[in-house]
Amino acid sequence: MNHIALDKEDEAVKRFVLSLPVDANGSVLELEGRAVACVVPVVEEPVEANGTWSEAKNARRCALIDSEIEGKLSAGEAVELHLLQREMLAHRHKVAPLPLAEARKLHQELLAKSRRRPSE
């Protein structure tokens, strides 16, 4: 899924996008009677890993990803995929968190080392 930053767009574009109805099934934008885009809401409620992640959910997530790649994902399915992705990431963070603290520490050490080294 592409992410488009609205920060750099005209105010009229921002107002239009923010004025679209928030519907769980999404909104289809049409031009001259032809569907050109589908906008689905992004659910921003926190997702907690409550131990309910399953192989069935993962299989559904993979099937939705395949549909997205094939260009056959409906608006409702896009919302479902978004929720499943967030739930999977919360589960992964719970059972196998990425060692970001160590990576950040190493990054800071390398930055400090590069500052001490004379420019070449």
Look up the domain containing 75 and give its range: 6-110
CA 41 remoteness from chain centre: 11
pLDDT of res. 93: 86
| Calpha distance 7→22 (Å, rounded) | 20
* Residue numbers in the chain where pLDDT is lower than 70: 1-2, 24-25, 43-51, 118-120
pLDDT of res. 99: 85
Going by the DSSP 8-state scheme, the letter that residue 6 receives in this structure is G
Determine if the pTM surpasses 0.75. no
How many domains, the chain?
1
Closest CA to 4 of 55, 24, 13: 13
Residue 115 lies in a domain: no
pLDDT of res. 32: 93
pLDDT of res. 45: 63
pLDDT of res. 21: 83
Residue 27 lies in a domain: yes
| Calpha distance 13→8 (Å, rounded) | 10
pLDDT of res. 104: 92
